[in-house]
Amino acid sequence: MENAANPADPLSILELVTKSTPVAKGVLLLLLIFSVVSWAIIITKFFVYRRARKEDKMFLKIFFKSDSLTNIYNFARELKFSPIARVFLTGYHELYVFKEISDKRGSGAAEKQMMVSPKDLKGIELALTKSTNHEVEKLGHRLDFLATTGSTTPFIGLFGTVWGIMHSFRMIGVKGSASIGGVAPGIAEALIATAAGLVAAIPAVVFFNYLNSRIHGFNHRMEDFSSDFIYMIEKDFMSSAPDPVRMEEMP
């Protein structure tokens, strides 16, 4: 009956790691840190994006069905993850900054005379654009770490491999033996660093691209909502009177 350990057994790999040089252990520890932080970011973003998408759908349903801006505003304040709701809140506040508006959308010609002017509308559009950019930046926060992990860890692993091979050749010189049995453990130890670098890099690159595609989707939906919001303002709250500033400039 054979009691020899299988070289492919995970325990053998663990033994190689525990018996490796301090530099190799440092490289593997660094790669482990990169990998753990990357997975923490990935899992967190999955949770945040899922909640954000769910709340976006809830908000848009209320926005297009409700006739009261106050009700929409109160509902939007309860949503903690929805980027579209935060864009709406920005536009709503800007609307009140420029003009005192009626609660009801399309509530009569007499009230519409007190609504926003074309100049005010440009200010609201600018505020919506800035808010959208801010939300995109928040959604992408810390994703740059995934990009750094994907581009850096393979080279860190390669450094560990090169160092391990150098150490193996040095030991060959010391022992004066170049047999396969003497060289193989050192080479295997060195290649573990390359494998660890790839294990850290591949998921980081894949999920960086995937999460960025999700952000692009959020961005497009926020831009579409901004267009709908501006159209609603033009339709229901746009002043038909000339801009007072323009009137002063007339001869």
Give yes or no for a contact between 196 and 154, defined as CB atoms under 8 angstroms apart. no
CA 215 to chain centre: 7
> What band does 110 get if pLDDT is binned at 50, 70 and 90?
very low
Average per-residue pLDDT for the chain: 84
Confidence of residue 19 (pLDDT cuts 50, 70, 90): confident
Side chain identity at residue 86, one-letter code? R
Q: Which two tokens stand for residue 137?
A: 């930046």
Q: How far apart are CA 68 and CA 250, in angstroms?
A: 37
SS3 (DSSP) at 116: strand
> What does the alpha-carbon distance between residue 225 and residue 83 come to, in Å, rounded to a whole number?
11
Using DSSP's 3-state secondary structure scheme, residue 176 falls into coil
Q: Is 94 exposed, middle or buried (0-12, 13-18, 19+ CB in 10 A)?
A: buried
d(CA 116, CA 121): 7
Q: Considering the entire predicted model, what is its pTM?
A: 0.81
